[in-house]
Amino acid sequence: MINWKRIVIIALFLAFVTASLMIGALSEVTLKALLNGDVTAWKVVWHSRVPRTAAIILSAAGLSVAGLIMQAISRNKFMSPSTSGTTDAAAFGILLAFIFLNEQSGFIQTLFAFIFAFLSTVLFTSVINRLKLREVANVPLIGMMYGGLISALTTAVAYKFDVMQMMSAIGLGSFARIGDFSTIYIVIPPLIMAVLYSTKFSIIGMGEDFSKNLGLNYNRVVFLGLVIIALISASSFVAVGPLPFIGLIIPNMATTFYGDNLKKSIVDLMLFGSVFVLFCDIASRLVIYPYEISVSLTISVVGGVIFMIYLIRGLRRA
């Protein structure tokens, strides 16, 4: 049986990848120039646009998977790294790395961001699991308040050490940053682990008792899930900055189209997230062409509307 949904999403993915490689401030980079072997055009594509497009795909796929795993662990469709303080904790880790180590590589920043993101996520999930909240919408609201506290602490520390300018730089999500995207490739191993453990993540989403009855080591799988979430959040934040709503709305949209079977739909989830971010990035480049606006702004506008729709639907069902 032909899977038309998968064919459509793959076609959209290829179309947006092609558009992402072709759109830019340099008008000399055209399909005709590339076919004619223009050296300048190929250098621009290979050294600038290919790394940027790869960063878009990996960050989008990673945050989509991280959001889905977090929703399975918390058994709440409104959970994601951006609504549980994970992203804010990663920013705090980067700030401390800058303050105490001054100049450091992206991998050192990722290490600090990972440690703080992991500890913050463990703390938040532990607290939430102990609370008996009837309304599903209360969990992300508490997570946003928790993230706000971490963000406030980060701002206070930045102000104390006079590095507010640095905070402004890392607090803006953009794929137009000067430098490389090497840290985003750290996302690949946790993505592979997520695919390999997709069935187990689906099982833990049914509850601890159910998982243990099936012979699954619940705590070990949850620990692995939290490591994957923190590592993806840290590496993507260091590489491109915050990308709000990706881990929240993409899993919900993907499960609406492809169902809740994580093993069968995880690749489609990655493609779906990539298409969404590619679309927002292309829109960011075209709205004031040849300049561009921050992709985090575009994602916030589009993602905020979609999130409100899902939030209202969830409240009505509750």
What is the per-residue pLDDT across 103-133, written as a single tens digit (0 to 9) for each?
Answer: 677 788 888 889 999 998 888 888 877 776 6
* 225, pLDDT greater than 60: yes
Looking at per-residue confidence, does 52 or 24 come out higher? Answer: 52
Q: What percent of the chain has pLDDT over 90?
A: 12
Pull the structure tokens for residue 191. Answer: 């993505």
Q: Kindly report the pTM of this predicted structure.
A: 0.87
* 260, pLDDT greater than 70: no
The CATH superfamily holding the domain 4-317 is: ABC transporter involved in vitamin B12 uptake, BtuC (1.10.3470.10)
C-beta of residue 228 within 8 angstroms of C-beta of residue 62: no
Average pLDDT of the segment spanning 136-154: 81
pLDDT tens digit string along 159-200? Answer: 888 777 777 767 676 777 655 677 888 899 999 998 888 888
> What whole-number distance in Å separates Cα of residue 147 and Cα of residue 153?
10
Q: Is residue 135 very low, low, confident or very high in pLDDT (cuts 50, 70, 90)?
A: low
Average pLDDT of the segment spanning 127-142: 70
Spell 171-191 as b/e; 16+ CB within 10 A means b.
bebbbbbeeebbbbebbeebb
Question: Best-predicted range by mean pLDDT among 97-101, 114-118, 143-147?
Answer: 114-118
> What whole-number distance in Å separates Cα of residue 244 and Cα of residue 300?
6
Looking at per-residue confidence, does 35 or 1 come out higher? Answer: 35
| Mean of pLDDT over the chain | 82
Average pLDDT of the segment spanning 64-80: 84
pLDDT of residue 278: 92
* 318, pLDDT greater than 70: no
* 86, pLDDT greater than 70: yes
> What whole-number distance in Å separates Cα of residue 298 and Cα of residue 254?
20
pLDDT of residue 63: 92
Helix axis angle for 246-258 and 262-286, nearest 10°, is: 130
